[in-house]
Homo-oligomer: A and B are copies of this chain.
Amino acid sequence: MATIRVTLSEIARVAGVDVSTASRALNARYGVRKEVRDRVLGVASRLGYRPNLLARGLITGRSQTIGLLISDIRNPFFTDLARGAEDAASAAGYDLVLCNSDLDPDKHMKYFWSLMAKRVEGVIMNSVAFLNREDVRQMAESGTPIVLLNRPPARSPFSTVLSDNVGGGALAAEYLVRLGHRRMAVLAGPRGQTNLDDRAAGFLRAVQAARNCAEPLVLRGIYSATGGHAMMHKLIGSLNGITAVFATNDAIAFGAIRAALDAGLHIPEDISLVGFDDVEMAAIVHPPLTTVRQFRYELGAAAVEILIRQAGSKGALPEHRKFGVELVERMSCRAID
């Protein structure tokens, strides 16, 4: 068997037709007598013909691939999202190429241009906030559909797919208030991370609405276990009667758990904790973490659906999709009497 080197013209020759006829036959287009069609299909399958998608893409302008340009696939949020994106892409006959930027602007743009060079039909990227205006402008002008996983500045030309972050923050707040907590803190990310910002904002707004609560203390830091550890450590230094804390993502919460442990404090006995994400680990950690669940897989799938739709229609308007979240109650919170 030829090692994948069977071309259309070979099929055509063997089947005794012209390559254009063979092409039509293979692509199931109108205008081929059934008999001829079957003959061509037979030859193709017998010879193990595989169309060269590079050649096809060159002429059709469609590469049948979409790019996933994120900070790091090892971040569980992106891992699940990637799987959702890949499944959706595959179902539509698309491939997904993976790029990890580490939020390095140079890397990001290098990847972006490389994706352009391969003529991907769209790209999913987590954020655009760390790039300079000029780069963002160039990406917009590339004409390639782009969907962001982070709320962009106003009047952005890009599509977005997001969770209801402020709603999720509110969910956490309402839960804690219902449990009787009145003095709380939020372990937030660095300012500018819109997803985390929105969660904190939603939380703050909801406790204000509850009225009989103190204004929560907000600490800022890196949005990782390390950052969470640092923030919690600091918080424990001057607790001032705080009985509950909201971490704007699970990684922060995990760091906070360890910091509490290190300080000899127990969760939830001494302090209640709620996270955000519902990463797999959240169920396994000790104590199992109460957290706000995001539908990561679905976010990824929705992103590629938008992209594929837009790749079809030239100059489509950006689309925006917001997914609900839900509180999953586990064992990291207790009621205050």
Taking Cβ atoms with an 8 Å cutoff, the residues of A that contact B are 1, 3-4, 48, 50-55, 57-58, 63-65, 68, 72-74, 79-80, 82-83, 86-87, 90, 95-100, 111, 113-119, 138, 141-144, 225, 254, 258, 280-281, 284-286
Q: How far is the CB of A291 from chain B (nearest CB, A)?
A: 15
Given contacts A1-B141, A79-B79, 14 further A-B contacts (CB under 8 A): A3-B143, A4-B116, A50-B116, A52-B58, A53-B118, A65-B118, A68-B98, A87-B100, A90-B100, A90-B111, A95-B118, A97-B98, A98-B98, A281-B284
- Contact check: which of B3, B52, B281 meets A119 at CB < 8 Å? B52
- Contact check: which of B50, B114, B286 meets A117 at CB < 8 Å? B50
Q: Is the CB of A96 within 8 A of B97?
A: yes
Chain B residue with minimal CB distance to A225? B284
Residues of the B chain whose Cβ atoms lie less than 8 Å from the Cβ of A138 = 1, 48
Q: Is the CB of A58 within 8 A of B50?
A: no
- Contact check: which of B52, B114, B141, B258 meets A95 at CB < 8 Å? B114
A120→B117 CA distance, assembly (Å): 16
Top-9 shortest CB links A-B: A286-B286, A3-B143, A53-B117, A54-B57, A98-B98, A54-B58, A95-B97, A97-B97, A53-B118
A80-B74, A86-B73, A281-B284 known; A54-B118 Cβ under 8 A? yes
Give the residue among A100, A118, A143 with the most B Cβ atoms within 10 A: A118
A172→B68 CA distance, assembly (Å): 39
Q: Is the CB of B117 within 8 A of A51?
A: yes
A242→B141 CA distance, assembly (Å): 67
Chain B residue with minimal CB distance to A1? B141
Q: Is the CB of B50 within 8 A of A54?
A: no
Residues of the B chain whose Cβ atoms lie less than 8 Å from the Cβ of A118 = 53-54, 64-65, 95
Q: How far is the CB of A315 from chain B (nearest CB, A)?
A: 10
Residues of the B chain whose Cβ atoms lie less than 8 Å from the Cβ of A68 = 98
Q: Is the CB of A143 within 8 A of B4?
A: yes
A4-B116, A53-B119, A63-B54 known; A100-B83 Cβ under 8 A? yes
Residues of the B chain whose Cβ atoms lie less than 8 Å from the Cβ of A99 = 86, 90, 95
Q: How far is the CB of A27 from chain B (nearest CB, A)?
A: 14
A94→B1 CA distance, assembly (Å): 28
Q: How far is the CB of A81 from chain B (nearest CB, A)?
A: 10
Q: List 8 A-B contacts (CB under 8 A).
A: A3-B141, A3-B142, A4-B116, A52-B117, A52-B119, A72-B83, A90-B111, A96-B97
- Contact check: which of B53, B63, B73 meets A82 at CB < 8 Å? B73
- Contact check: which of B4, B53, B74, B82 meets A142 at CB < 8 Å? B4
A96→B285 CA distance, assembly (Å): 33
Q: Is the CB of B58 within 8 A of A55?
A: yes
- Contact check: which of B58, B65, B80 meets A97 at CB < 8 Å? B65
A286→B100 CA distance, assembly (Å): 31
A9→B51 CA distance, assembly (Å): 27
Residues of the B chain whose Cβ atoms lie less than 8 Å from the Cβ of A64 = 118
